[in-house]
Amino acid sequence: MGWIVALIVGGIAGWLASMVMNRDNSMGIMLNIIVGCVGSVLGNLLLNQFGIAGSVQNFSLTGLLVAVLGAVVLLGIVNLVRRGSVR
């Protein structure tokens, strides 16, 4: 059941991050899920370095915010590499 929750939260987080970064038109649902799940792991790694824990294994608002934050950072890095600017 944890994987299903992670995929749903990842999809929502990827979709929200793509809207924040103005990439919603170029991303499909599968890429949103991938970006959200990878962003969730990235966000957890970043916040754990500062002693702030957030988990998406059980759905919580904190876990969703961490996943969105990580996905936004991931999309910012991708934009920086591909376009030369964060936006």
Domain boundaries, the chain: 2-83
Distance CA(68)–CA(56), nearest Å, equals 11
Q: Burial code of 26-43, b = ≥16 C-beta within 10 A, e = fewer?
A: ebeeeebbbbbbbbbbbb
pLDDT tens series, the chain, 87 aa: 567 777 788 888 888 988 888 876 667 788 888 888 888 888 878 777 877 665 545 667 877 888 888 889 888 888 888 877 666
- Sign of the dihedral defined by the CA atoms of residues 50, 52, 57, 61, in that order: negative
Distance CA(24)–CA(15), nearest Å, equals 7
Phi-psi category of residue 41: left, alpha or beta, with phi > 0 → left and psi -120 to 50 → alpha: alpha
pTM of the model: 0.78
